[in-house]
Amino acid sequence: MKTKRNISLILVLMCTVLAVSAITVNAEETDASGNASVGVFNKYVFRGYELSAGSIVVQPSAGISYKGFSASFWGNIDSEENPTQNYVPDRPDERSFNETDLTLSYTYAIDKVSLTGGYIYYGTKYATETEELFLTVGYDTLLSPTLSVYRDITEYPGTYVNIAVAHSLSLVKKITIDLGASAGYFLGDNEYWNTYERSTGDYTGDKYKAFHDGMVKAGLTVPLAENISVQPVAQYWFPLSGKAKKTIDGSAYNINGKLDDTVVAGVNITLSF
């Protein structure tokens, strides 16, 4: 399995290099675009799971797009890894660059409907590296609704479905207030996702499936220059069902840990080109 993951990573890197080369050569003649950003936050939360605590996380990212094709990188640097109910650090009490995600995708638009399909490689130090395929359907109307389906294809077979909405309101001098919300449902389908049973004192129960995580957020986009903006943001994450926050005799019902109410706050600085 490790060999397959290494091959997949090499293919992703090769495709990324080719995409960057194509965009660099043709940037003046095409609709190529890109962005680079860095975010600083009090916590890292992914699909409701709290993956840092008591530290600061720095999250660099970069992406390029050309005629519907996109390639992007995202990373997480934890200033001091501390355990949470969902997270066992690989380097406790130390700084760690503990996640690198690479995404390749293609978007096709039909009038107001956009269809995006793609691949994500999750290079995580605190868990086994894994891969997902995803499909997102978006509609260009009020609240910009999207429906996304993610399917893990290697280490943690399961399906995650997310519905999201977002809306921006103009304030003054091109400053906008940005609002959003999302809700997720998870369905595990191999033995890794067996739930905790009191009768056995172990994870031998039915596979975990539940309305999983909810999130609401508010932020501002403040232009600093023509292509540079700063975006302070706050997010509130919460479990969507009793199963998502359930514990039995002190053990989480879900093997990845229970979800808690969590607030994430920080700021992004973004360069678009």
pLDDT bracket for residue 136 (50, 70, 90) = very high
Could you tell me which of 163, 164, 70, 72 has the C-alpha nearest to residue 108?
70
Show the tokens assigned to 138.
């978006």
Residue 14 has pLDDT above 70, yes or no: no
Does 9 score more than 60 pLDDT?
no
Percentage, residues of the chain above pLDDT 70: 89
Burial class (CB in 10 A: 0-12, 13-18, 19+), 24: exposed
- CA 77 to chain CA centroid, Å, is 15
Per domain, the residue ranges of the chain are 2-37+45-164+182-213+239-259
pLDDT of residue 21 exceeding 90, the answer is no
The pLDDT of residue 173: 86
**Band (90; pLDDT cuts 50, 70, 90):** confident
Q: Mean pLDDT, to the nearest integer, of 157-170? A: 97
Give the Cα separation of 137 and 108 in Å (integer).
10
Residue 198 has pLDDT above 60, yes or no: yes
Comparing 19 with 121, the larger pLDDT belongs to 121
The CA distance from 167 to 219, in Å, is 11
Q: CA-CA distances (angstroms) from residue 16 to 5, 62, 272?
A: 16, 11, 18
Q: Average pLDDT in the 265-270 region?
A: 98
Q: How confident is the model at residue 31 (pLDDT cuts 50, 70, 90)?
A: confident
pLDDT score of 20 more than 60: no
pLDDT at 92: 93
Q: Determine the pLDDT at residue 30.
A: 62
Average pLDDT over residues 90-98: 94
